[in-house]
Every structure is written in C-alpha cells, then in structure tokens.
Structure 1
Amino acid sequence: MVNYMLKIVADLENLTNLQPHGGCDDPSFTYLFKLKCGRCGELSQKETCVSLGDAVPLPQGRGTTNLVQKCKFCMREGTVTMISGRGRPLTQEDCEEGKFAPLMLFDCRGYEPVGFVFGGGWKVESLEGTKFEGVDLSGDEFAEYDEKGECPVMISNLRSTFDVVK
C-alpha cells in the first residue's frame, strides 16, 4: 500500500482559493489520471476516472474502494481508494511562494497514479471576493474579467504532481 498526494500549483492573477466546485472532498468531482501497473509497468492508455461518490466492493475481503481495475497487460488487479480530509484550496500565497497545494490523497494498491488531467468543475474567487464557478481548466487556462474589482483575472501554467506520503 502506497499513499499518493495529488498536489497542484498554477499562476493565479488576482485570484485565490482554486479547488473543485464542491470543495476538495466534493463527492461528485471526478479526478482524471493515468495508472501505471506496479507489477509490469504498463501505463493505461486512457485516463481513469475516480470520485469519492463511487464506491465498489473490494475484490477480496470486506469494505469498499473507489476503483478496482485490472491491468490489460499482466491481468493483475489493483485498487485506488480516496482518503478525504487532507486537501485544501490553492491560494494566492501558495502561488507567490511557488508552493504546491495538496488536493486529494489516494491509497493505491497495485497501481501508481500519473499525469493528472485538469478538466471542468472548478471554482475560484477573485481577491475582491467575486466567485467564479464551473471553471473549465481543460484548456490549461482560464481568463475572465472581475467587474466588482475592475481587473482581469487569470489561471495559467497549471501543474500537478503525485507525491508519496507516509
């Protein structure tokens, strides 16, 4: 069992608190990334979708997990279980300091997550308090105008990493 913390960073212009629409523990938010098999090293061809709202029985034993998937190459089965309560929004201060913000913790057995994909369903707020919801980051950036603060706002240079956590 290895835990991987998904961390994100971006350039936020006049914005703060970037996070999934319902918060970091939003059960309807879908995390997209590829999986690398721990046995043979095969990388999944397509992105895998995982969300807190999905619960499937463990293949062996009792309990549930968020994803059970079989490697197409070696046929080994692995699981990904999301652990809520460890993430937080990406703030303006994080960006100024070049720090990654922890978003979600994944307990991976038999797999390693790689290549997180930024998609739709994000929210962020301007430094003046204007909320932007339903932000789509699949184009790798977001640009708008904050009427209240009378300034342009922008998200760019999106980056992510999966760090091993004990």
Structure 2
Amino acid sequence: MVNYLLQITADLENLTDLQPQGGCDDPNFSYLFKLKCGRCGELSQKETCVTLNDSVPLPVGKGTTHLIQKCKFCGRDGTVTMVPGRGRPLSQETSQSGKFSPLMLFDCRGYEPVGYVFCGGWKVVSTDGTTFDDVDLSGGEFAEYCEKGECPVMISNLRATFDVVK
C-alpha cells in the first residue's frame, strides 16, 4: 500500500480559498486522473473518476474501496481508496509563496495515480469576501470581475502533483 497526496497550486489574483464546491471532503466532487499499473507500468488510456460517495466492497475480506480496476495489459487488479481529512483550501498566501496545498489522500494498491485533470465544481472567494460557486477549471483558468471589490479576479497556471506520503 502506498499513500499519494494530491496537492494543487495556482496563481490566484484577488482570490483565496480555492477548494471543491462542498469543501475539501466534498462527497460528490469528482477526482479525475490516469492510473499507472504498479506491475507492468501500463498507463490507463482514459482518466479514472473517483468520488467519496461511490464505494464498492473489496473482493477479498471486509471493507470497501472507491475503485477496483483491472490493468488491461497484465490483468492485475488494483484499488484506490480515498482518505478524507487531509485537504485544505489553496489560500492566496500559499499560492503567492509558490507552495502546494493538499487536497485529497489516496491509498493505492497496485496502481499509481498520475496526471490529475482539473474539471468543474470548484469554489473560490475574492479577497473582499465574494464567493464564486461552481467554477469550471477544465479550461485551465478562470477569469471574472468582482462587482463588490471592483476588481478583476483570476485563476491561472494550475498545477497538481501526487506525492508519496507515509
């Protein structure tokens, strides 16, 4: 078993607290990424989607996981289990320092997550307190005008990484 921590960063202009719509542990938020087989190194053709809301029973023993997938090349089964409670919003301060903010922890057995894909369902707050809901980051950026603060707001230069943690 290896734990991978998904971490994100971006350039935030007049914005702070970038996170999934329902918070970092939003049960309906979809995480999209490719999987690399731990046995043969084959990379999945399509992105895999996992959410906290969707779980399946483990084939052996008791318990559940969020994904069971068979490698199309070598036939080996692998699982991905999400571990909530480690994420926090990306603040303007963290963004400006060039650091990453943790989003979700994945317990992976037989697979390694690679290539996180940003999609819709995000929330961000302007520096004057205006909330922007259901932000779609699939295009790689977000730009809007904040009426209350009378300033442009923008998310750009999105980056994500999966780091091995203990």
TM-score, normalised relative to structure 1: 1.00
Structure 2, unmatched stretches of 5+, are none
Q: Please report how far the alpha carbon of residue 60 of structure 1 lies from its aligned counterpart in structure 2 after TM superposition.
A: 1.1
AA aligned to 1:109 is R
What's the counterpart of residue 77 of structure 1? 77
Partners of 1:136 and 1:60 in 2: CA distance? 38
What's the counterpart of residue 34 of structure 1? 34
Partners of 1:148 and 1:124 in 2: CA distance? 15
SS at match of 2:88: coil
Alignment of 1:37-76 (within 5 A): 37-76=37-76
Partners of 2:51 and 2:144 in 1: CA distance? 28
SS at match of 1:94: helix
What's the counterpart of residue 163 of structure 1? 163
Q: Please report how far the alpha carbon of residue 96 of structure 1 lies from its aligned counterpart in structure 2 after TM superposition.
A: 1.0
> What is the aligned-residue RMSD (CA, Å)?
0.3
Q: Please report how far the alpha carbon of residue 145 of structure 1 lies from its aligned counterpart in structure 2 after TM superposition.
A: 0.3
AA aligned to 2:121 is G
Structure 1, unmatched stretches of 5+, are none
Partners of 1:62 and 1:34 in 2: CA distance? 27
What's the counterpart of residue 4 of structure 1? 4
Residue correspondences, number: 166
Runs of 4+ in 1 over 4 A off after TM superposition: none
State percent identity of aligned pairs.
79
SS at match of 2:137: coil
What's the counterpart of residue 91 of structure 2? 91
2:111 maps to 1:123: no
Partners of 1:67 and 1:21 in 2: CA distance? 22
2:135 maps to 1:132: no
